[in-house]
Chain A
Amino acid sequence: MKVKLRIKRFNPQKDRKPYWQEFEVEAEKTDRVLDALHQIRWYQDGTLGFRRSCAHGICGSDAMLINGKNRLACKALFADLGDYVTVEPLRGLPVLKDLIVDMEPFFAAYRAVKPYLINNDQPPLKERLQSPEERARFDDTTKCILCAACTTSCPSFWVNRDYLGPAAIVNAHRFIFDSRDQAAEERLDILASRDGVWRCRTIFNCTDACPRGIQVTKAIEEVKRAIMYAKV
């Protein structure tokens, strides 16, 4: 079938403002938006800028706003989207070119929550053991691929870029509730700050946007509760 893509273009060296451009490509119902973007870039307009790495929904490179919703271009099928699809860069991050945004503010927030195992004990000879129940406690938040679909769908983040954002909180959650980690208190302190979890207004856009199906809002609420029980 013929598919029309309406893409928001912007080249900072030439354009003063972003503009819309339409492309028509031949695609199957089972094709993904990423396949159409490839068609355009390889055969119609080589200047179209977008990111993708694995193209199979696990690297988190190709999150973009497709038909008004944050999705991974490599997981969005035309069967679900129809034959007229709008594609825009993620909101709330500076656009570098076309569909490519500057991810640095996103990763800076990610690094701020210390997203790595902190354990000052002598490392055991084998692995650090954990019961299946202890592992299940944070299973949901281990699924994050850092695509930024949640953070850039969050209205609180759009208006206040100092907010750490859902993705950073999800990745803090992954270690706060890990029985092998010892820095939960430190992370809860960071997230209890003005720009931490209290900026969340439980809008649920993040949960809707997550291509991995993580219950993002629930994770944020669990962190809020952990801070409350630790301090009140």
Chain B
Amino acid sequence: MATNGAGRPRPRGSGFELYSWLFMRISGVLMLIFLLGHLYIMHIINSVEVVNYNFVAARWGTPLWRTWDLILLLLAALHGSNGLRILIDDYIHSHGWRVVALAVLYVLAIGFILGGSLVLFTFQPVAS
């Protein structure tokens, strides 16, 4: 048992964790608005029966709804993956496994964001 009065090594400081913490709070509140709005439009104003390809295609005809969905996609993907990153930091102690888990997480998160953005930006309605 070392009791020589020495402190532990000075913790690594950086502003990243502060902004990550702040982002979780702000994105949480924003998602509450955007997600509830989304649910309200898709399930309460419009009955589920009318939500089909044409409905979505018409909705995405306006930049407003594409932006709405892009914001929702970014907030959800970043909020979720940042939460998982913190869990991995907490629970996976072996350095090797932590690197593996974080790599998988980052690939998935970037994949979801890129895939979703690709559809949002390049979607062209086809009459059916």
Contact = CB atoms under 8 A, between A and B. Distances in A.
Interface residues of A, number: 26
B8 interface: yes
Contact of A189 (B13, B22, B89): B13
User: How extensive is the interface on chain B, given as a class?
Assistant: 20 to 34
A112 B34 CA distance: 42
Nearest to A232: B22
Contacts of A121: none
Contact of B1 (A104, A193, A196): A104
A159 B90 contact: yes
The A interface is mostly helix, strand or loop, or mixed, namely helix
B13 A190 contact: yes
B8 A112 contact: yes
B7 interface: yes
14 contacts: A102-B1, A104-B1, A104-B2, A104-B3, A107-B3, A108-B8, A112-B10, A190-B13, A192-B13, A192-B14, A193-B12, A194-B12, A227-B18, A228-B18
Interface of B: 1-3, 5-8, 10-15, 17-18, 20-22, 89-91
Given A198-B20, A228-B18, 13 more contacts: A107-B3, A108-B6, A108-B8, A159-B91, A160-B89, A190-B11, A194-B12, A194-B14, A195-B11, A196-B11, A198-B17, A228-B22, A232-B18
Q: Which 6 A-B residue pairs are closest in the complex by CB-CB distance?
A: A193-B11, A111-B7, A198-B17, A108-B8, A193-B13, A160-B90
